[in-house]
Structure 1
Amino acid sequence: MRNSNTYLWIFACITFVISGCSTHFYLEGVALNDQGAYMEAAEQFEKSLKSDKYQVHAYKALVDIYTELNSHEEALRCLDSLRLSEQGMLTDDQMFLKAESHMALGQYELAIQTLREMKSSPSVEARKNSILTIDERQMNSVFYRVRNVEIENMSVDGPHIASAALPHRVNDDLYFVAESPRKFKQRKKSETHIDDYTGNRLMDLWKGTIIDTLGYGGAIKLEAMPMLEVNTEFHDGVVAYHKGDTIGVLGKTYVKPEETFVEKLKRPAGMRILRPIQLFHADLITDSEGVKHWVTGDRLDFCNDEYMYAHPSLSPDGSTLYFTSNMPGGKGGMDIWKVVRDGTGWSAPENLGGVVNTTRDEAFPTMRHNDTLYFSSNGHLGLGGLDIVYATREDDKEWTAVNDKLPSPINSPRDDFGLQLDPHGVGGIFASDRNGIDSLYHFSSYDPEIILKVITVHQSDLSLWPEVDAELVIYDSLKVAGFVTDSEASWTSKIERGNNYLIECPNYLGYIPEAFYAPEDQTIKELLVYVPIPFVVKIGCMDIEADNYDPEALVDDGSCEYHVPEIDNEIEEVEYDNPPSISGCTVPHACNYNPTATIDDDSCEYTSCVTVVTEIEEEINEVEVDVDIKTGDIVDLKIHWDLDKYSIRNEDKEIIKSFAEFLMVNEQFNVLLMSHCDIRATHGYNDELSQNRANSIMQALINEGVPADRLISFGASETFPIISCETVNSCTEEEHQTNRRTVANILRPNERVVIHNVKAGETLYGLAKKHGVSQEEIKLWNALGGPKMRVGQDILIYKAR
């Protein structure tokens, strides 16, 4: 019994000690948190979690701290622990922070799931909209590239750089702030001030020279040195000034005058002295050795040491100073303010208003022109964290709109801030913690395509070899685009940069293709590729009756093959226990389209809808149009085409004239003209040929008086044949002729047509979302076998007016 009592007594003592320590850690964390010492506060709150007494309060505080420090994985950990604690369900504010953390980590599905569990509010709906419109706002991401900025420390025995941010550009000079790491062996002393956010030394001002902003594929080099004449042991920011100025505005830590002995006695125990960022006059002076450097002057009159004033930036004409502050009178969080130059001083601060500022944070203002203000915000629509946006105005009036569609890779799910535009062109340097720490990056415009010019020549003497059948192949892929060089042995197209390609010439023996690369370097606008083809006598089957007859063969090699039909003596009937799925025609263009059919049975036909052109008498060249045509009908114009031609036959011109008269009488009809090819030639060639045929009919109708705005032409290539031909030789010439046709789709009153030319990088999903239709509808309208589309292919889309 004595031993049991002893154990109970020891357990009680341990519990009391743990509880007492937890109380101490928690209260210490509260005090540090109130003073803005977030990292130290988080350390104390984590220690207090060993006891249940303060778990809920500690987790709440840790969620706010880790969110403030952008430690979103830790914030989510604490939120999950808080949900499993005595508190139970998370509050709406905590749920919103959870969604924000998921968003900052690029976990958009989890973010939208969290937001959908919350009550509707303006902030919740704004964030939902931000996530749901990401694809739309990212449509232009392919037109930008981002490169790292590598900083080379040019000072002798200078400090290492742990992180870099807040770039400020004056021509090729780039000012920025950087943190130096605190060495492990170094103990924290009164003269060694540490950033409570990162654990590194406070920021110093650096000046560097940009070596390169044109190349592609490598980092930009920045040769830099710390500005020792300005830097102190506290935070030192950039100097806002223009080239040629001798005065500027500097952002740095404000150190209050030394307290008197009496003031120190009156200070509450444990109270930490706040040292906020403030704005100061800066003067450019020349020392006795002729070296120019900046000297810190007086603090600007409107600054209040209870609040932060940071990120100074001058308007292009130097008359207005923009900055960031949490001073009273704002919209919430950090806001962007301005003051106007007034003699040797500045006017009273003015908030930029609700168009620019939100209830959250707006910071890091900068301008290249008076009508555009760039800044970073986590209150406007974005990808997560701080995102770079810009506001616009006219004639120096109030800011009227904010553009939040700067896409990835400029913005990211993490913090992106401090944009400084290049003096010319589309590009600039900015800071981001997308890889875990603040670093500098440069973005520039990027054309994802380059002009490719192919010239086919004889290998022997490099003389031109025109009209060569060839294929453009993306190396190590199945993507093939057939083409034929013109009469000057040339073929030109746009191709996607960054890929390796081959030019294949399958019909030319002895030709060996060589891979070539489409460079990303934007200074290269055109790529010239010569294709040397050896002259080889072509051998093959010369029997015109054979299945594999080769009309270009000069020597018969005995390879001819002949089709021998097989006789099917027995037909087996199959009975189904359960009725099969509904079969029928699933193509909306067909006359016998069945909207309930789930399986296409190849029964689609395109001629029975309307018999629109009939000969009155075979011997009289007069035609008439069926008067029963109605909207939604597909009209067979009975116009057929000669092989590889798009000129209208003389005997078909009366048909066009009659159809034109019909359209002018029936002014309510708008028409989609669709021309078709047979399966000979490549997809790309048939695309162009069928479009030319449709254009010929359209121009002929216009010449007859039909208004152009009632007509639209579309080249349907070899899709939707009336007679299916597995190979060229499996159909007769008459059957190929039947497939070479033009039809007129009489559009419904509420129907309009969009023809979209596929660009590099576009997807079927994105195209369907853009036009508000389904992927399956686009596949049916264009006879696509899957989600892949060819670059340069015209896609037909039906939309409601």
Structure 2
Amino acid sequence: MKNLFFLIIIILTPLTILAQRPTVKRADKLFAQKSYVEAAKMYKALKSDAHILQNLGDSYYYNHQMELARPPYTFLFTEYKDSIKPEVYFRFAQTLLAIKNYEKADEIMSEYLGYEIDTRKFIENLNNIVPYVYELKRMTPTNSTGDFGISFYGEKVVFSSPRNAENPIYKWNGKPYLDLYEASVDLNEQLIDITPFSEEINTKTHESNATFSKDGKTMYFSRTNHERVKIGDEKIATVKIFKAELVDSVWTNVVETSFSSDTYSVQHPYLNSDNSKLYFSSDMPGGFGSFDIYSVDIIGDGFSEPKNLGETINTAHREQFPFVDDNETLYFASDGHQGMGGLDIFMSQLRNQGFVKPLNLGETINSEADDFGFVYSEILEKGYLASNREGADNLYAFKRMDNERRFIVEGDVRDKHTKKLLPGTTVTLFDENDILVGEMVVGLNAEYVFNTKPNTKYKIEGHRALYIPTIEEFYTDDDGRLVFSIELEIESYDDAESIVVTKDDGYTYIELENIYFDLNQWDIKPQAARTLDVLVDLLNKYPRMEIQLGAHTDSRASEEYNLRLSNRRANATLEYLVENGIDRNRLKSKGFGETKPLVACGGNCSEAEHSINRRCEFLILK
């Protein structure tokens, strides 16, 4: 019998080892199940290709392990850039922002967005225009609690945490499932007397983000569905919002809200001050992106149909954790609006026409990591939020003060003729002595905001590639808190000048009379000089314009000879412009030889066709 036992061990051991051997199929299955911790371990042991690098990077990214996500993403973009999907550009850029590699992050994000951004200038400008400055203090002595989703609960607070080690392990991040906890906050803003919330509420699955009615007798909270539902090729457990009532000091009557679903998630509820409206985040169909913010009206014991807060608030990415103060100002977390990295917290005031453009709350509140779950009490004059800026989710208490520097001018940038917004335009602000006050590259909404002083004259300028710079002057008055709205309209070169043409190849050229050179020569003849003088006048008229001088030959000599000749002709053209006062830094020259003929006639070209192929082109670069 003893020998039989050892025989079984010997037979089973290789099978166990085989079952644990990393394979792409097993790693992909773990990834599809959102078991990102185990998936990452397996992908790391496999030979790299584009698929493995992306999923390895994603596995770390979804668990906010940005230092670990950076190497596979970097290798992916180095070796397989042509096959990368747009959403991976976004994740890589966010990864780089999280480790404060702003230059590379801006490069990748600019490729993703299709226009330039400058995060450093964005942050610098933002700190001057936010309405408040903040002081933050972590609410626990250690940095590994995983606490978030805090709310006011009478004289206490309620928050979400994975601190119950007896709960099942969540395979996404390898931590216990979330429960709700209640606690007091001492004079040093530390959580004390922490106890699990009601047993009627906490279960073996996730509970988080509780919000309470004014009288404390009704609560709404998020709970993960107990059952997984197959959607497409995946089995998922959605998040739902539940309602509970306090009866005789016991939370009871726990029911799922009517707008919850087995096929999409609704989460992060927040009840407004008069208990008439519930805000939440959802990935339900029909939204703008990953997660959008919605609201429902509370009608008796029921709810209206969910209403999406619209594209002013919601983007193609994540908008989550809504909070609405007593003045109906919305605060929420987003990684879709321009920020500092990860989820940032934004505010948006409610006006007659709905919520206005969100404003990033700036440094201190926001960081390069995820910052979310903002709540504030006007009565207590303090608030709370969550952030993983120290590596794990932690709760922070904050106090806020008025930002004394907040005197602002704002507006947007549009095409003068089409009135279309022009994201990626650089806007600069100068004082009356032409000293630079601020500069920013406008985002998707093409809006700019600058800090100003009262009783001061300013000049604001908008400029972008292939457009004529526009300058507006204005004065501020005694009340520096007034908002000056100036719409900058800029005109493209091809709208302003008949000799500037945007061709079918998408590039913009200056069309001048052709420049002719003697056979095998590159010196500038009088006819060529007259043509180039027109170019000199245009470059003097638009001092920000930069061009490339491209010279082309016919095909009657060797390729090597024609390339040398065209380079000499392009350089000669450039030198003529420099001799006539044009800054060399605005000019580039390039010889193309016979490589780009307008008439592809090979070795059978007529003299007229050769003449057409011998030319100089003037490409506008900026």
* TM-score normalised by length of structure 2: 0.57
Residue among 274, 278, 289 paired with 2:236 = 274
Deviation track 1:541-569 (CA, whole Å, cap 9, x = no partner) reads xxxxxxxxxxxxxxxxxxxxxxxxxxxxx
Measure the CA separation in 2 of the matches of 1:275 and 1:97.
24
Residues 394 and 447 of structure 1, relative CA distance in 2, 3 Å threshold:
closer
Residues 220 and 446 of structure 1, relative CA distance in 2, 3 Å threshold:
farther
Amino acid at match of 1:423: E
Amino acid at match of 2:287: G
Using the TM superposition, give the Cα deviation of residue 91 of structure 1 relative to its aligned residue in structure 2, in angstroms: 5.9
Measure the CA separation in 2 of the matches of 1:447 and 1:232.
42
* Residue pair 1:149, 1:221 contacting (<8 A) in 2 also: yes
Measure the CA separation in 2 of the matches of 1:192 and 1:361.
28
Matched residue SS, 1:375: strand
Amino acid at match of 1:196: K
Using the TM superposition, give the Cα deviation of residue 412 of structure 1 relative to its aligned residue in structure 2, in angstroms: 0.7
Using the TM superposition, give the Cα deviation of residue 349 of structure 1 relative to its aligned residue in structure 2, in angstroms: 1.2
Aligned to 2:372: 417
Aligned to 2:161: 178
Measure the CA separation in 2 of the matches of 1:276 and 1:300.
13
1:225 equivalenced with 2:215 (yes/no): no
Matched residue SS, 1:363: strand
Amino acid at match of 2:125: E
Measure the CA separation in 2 of the matches of 1:58 and 1:401.
39
1:144 equivalenced with 2:134 (yes/no): yes
Deviation track 1:50-99 (CA, whole Å, cap 9, x = no partner) reads x35xx321111122232222111122110123245466786654444322
* Residue pair 1:250, 1:296 contacting (<8 A) in 2 also: no
Residues 44 and 93 of structure 1, relative CA distance in 2, 3 Å threshold:
same
Measure the CA separation in 1 of the matches of 2:141 and 2:181.
10
Aligned to 2:221: 250
Residues 177 and 402 of structure 1, relative CA distance in 2, 3 Å threshold:
same
Residue among 256, 259, 264 paired with 1:299 = 256
Measure the CA separation in 1 of the matches of 2:72 and 2:277.
44
Q: Which has the larger radius of gyration?
A: 1
Matched residue SS, 1:234: coil
Measure the CA separation in 2 of the matches of 1:96 and 1:445.
32
* Residue pair 2:154, 2:216 contacting (<8 A) in 1 also: no
> Which runs of structure 2 are paired with 1:428-443 in the superposition (5 Å)?
428-443=383-398
Measure the CA separation in 2 of the matches of 1:162 and 1:314.
26
> Which runs of structure 2 are paired with 1:611-626 in the superposition (5 Å)?
none
* Residue pair 1:151, 1:224 contacting (<8 A) in 2 also: no
Measure the CA separation in 2 of the matches of 1:84 and 1:357.
32
Residue among 32, 38, 41 paired with 2:39 = 41
Residues 350 and 95 of structure 1, relative CA distance in 2, 3 Å threshold:
closer
Amino acid at match of 2:127: Q
Matched residue SS, 1:65: helix
* Residue pair 1:170, 1:242 contacting (<8 A) in 2 also: no
Measure the CA separation in 2 of the matches of 1:109 and 1:67.
20
* Residue pair 1:151, 1:221 contacting (<8 A) in 2 also: no
Residues 256 and 111 of structure 1, relative CA distance in 2, 3 Å threshold:
closer
Using the TM superposition, give the Cα deviation of residue 710 of structure 1 relative to its aligned residue in structure 2, in angstroms: 13
Aligned to 1:324: 281
Using the TM superposition, give the Cα deviation of residue 318 of structure 1 relative to its aligned residue in structure 2, in angstroms: 0.5
Using the TM superposition, give the Cα deviation of residue 448 of structure 1 relative to its aligned residue in structure 2, in angstroms: 10
* Residue pair 1:211, 1:221 contacting (<8 A) in 2 also: yes
Using the TM superposition, give the Cα deviation of residue 29 of structure 1 relative to its aligned residue in structure 2, in angstroms: 2.2
Using the TM superposition, give the Cα deviation of residue 445 of structure 1 relative to its aligned residue in structure 2, in angstroms: 2.5
Aligned to 1:694: none
1:239 equivalenced with 2:233 (yes/no): no
* Residue pair 1:422, 1:429 contacting (<8 A) in 2 also: no
Residue among 169, 178, 184 paired with 1:209 = 184
Aligned to 1:64: 58
Amino acid at match of 2:202: N
Matched residue SS, 2:24: helix
Residue among 382, 400, 404 paired with 2:356 = 400
> Which runs of structure 2 are paired with 1:680-691 in the superposition (5 Å)?
none
> What is the RMSD of the two structures over their aligned residues, measured on CA atoms?
3.8
Matched residue SS, 1:139: helix
Deviation track 1:620-673 (CA, whole Å, cap 9, x = no partner) reads xxxxxxxxxxxxxxxxxxxxxxxxxxxxxxxxxxxxxxxxxxxxxxxxxxxxxx
Residues 225 and 181 of structure 1, relative CA distance in 2, 3 Å threshold:
closer
> Which runs of structure 2 are paired with 1:593-612 in the superposition (5 Å)?
none
* Residue pair 2:183, 2:193 contacting (<8 A) in 1 also: yes
* Residue pair 1:239, 1:282 contacting (<8 A) in 2 also: no
Matched residue SS, 2:169: coil
* Residue pair 2:264, 2:282 contacting (<8 A) in 1 also: yes
Measure the CA separation in 2 of the matches of 1:710 and 1:362.
38
Matched residue SS, 2:354: coil
Matched residue SS, 2:105: helix
Using the TM superposition, give the Cα deviation of residue 347 of structure 1 relative to its aligned residue in structure 2, in angstroms: 1.3
Using the TM superposition, give the Cα deviation of residue 755 of structure 1 relative to its aligned residue in structure 2, in angstroms: 13
Residues 104 and 249 of structure 1, relative CA distance in 2, 3 Å threshold:
same
Amino acid at match of 1:32: L
Using the TM superposition, give the Cα deviation of residue 133 of structure 1 relative to its aligned residue in structure 2, in angstroms: 1.6
Using the TM superposition, give the Cα deviation of residue 193 of structure 1 relative to its aligned residue in structure 2, in angstroms: 2.2
* Identity across the alignment (%): 27
Unaligned runs of 5+ residues in structure 2 are 1-14, 405-432, 434-454, 458-471, 479-622
1:352 equivalenced with 2:350 (yes/no): no
1:109 equivalenced with 2:103 (yes/no): yes
Amino acid at match of 1:282: A
Residues 343 and 151 of structure 1, relative CA distance in 2, 3 Å threshold:
farther
Deviation track 1:503-557 (CA, whole Å, cap 9, x = no partner) reads xxxxxxxxxxxxxxxxxxxxxxxxxxxxxxxxxxxxxxxxxxxxxxxxxxxxxxx
Measure the CA separation in 2 of the matches of 1:350 and 1:203.
28
> Which runs of structure 2 are paired with 1:635-646 in the superposition (5 Å)?
none
Amino acid at match of 1:209: S
Residues 752 and 416 of structure 1, relative CA distance in 2, 3 Å threshold:
closer
* Residue pair 1:103, 1:413 contacting (<8 A) in 2 also: yes
Measure the CA separation in 2 of the matches of 1:324 and 1:42.
28
Measure the CA separation in 1 of the matches of 2:55 and 2:344.
25
Residues 88 and 231 of structure 1, relative CA distance in 2, 3 Å threshold:
same
Matched residue SS, 1:353: coil
Measure the CA separation in 1 of the matches of 2:393 and 2:102.
23
Residues 136 and 297 of structure 1, relative CA distance in 2, 3 Å threshold:
same
Measure the CA separation in 1 of the matches of 2:282 and 2:83.
35
Aligned to 2:123: 134
* Residue pair 1:32, 1:38 contacting (<8 A) in 2 also: yes
Amino acid at match of 2:29: A
Residues 139 and 107 of structure 1, relative CA distance in 2, 3 Å threshold:
farther
Deviation track 1:138-157 (CA, whole Å, cap 9, x = no partner) reads 236894211111279xxxxx
Measure the CA separation in 2 of the matches of 1:425 and 1:432.
21
Matched residue SS, 2:38: helix
Amino acid at match of 1:393: L
Measure the CA separation in 2 of the matches of 1:94 and 1:393.
34
Aligned residues: 397
* Residue pair 1:162, 1:200 contacting (<8 A) in 2 also: no
* Residue pair 1:82, 1:88 contacting (<8 A) in 2 also: no
Aligned to 1:368: 325
Measure the CA separation in 2 of the matches of 1:94 and 1:326.
19
Matched residue SS, 1:430: strand
Using the TM superposition, give the Cα deviation of residue 25 of structure 1 relative to its aligned residue in structure 2, in angstroms: 2.5
Using the TM superposition, give the Cα deviation of residue 169 of structure 1 relative to its aligned residue in structure 2, in angstroms: 1.0
* Residue pair 2:278, 2:295 contacting (<8 A) in 1 also: yes
Measure the CA separation in 1 of the matches of 2:28 and 2:41.
11
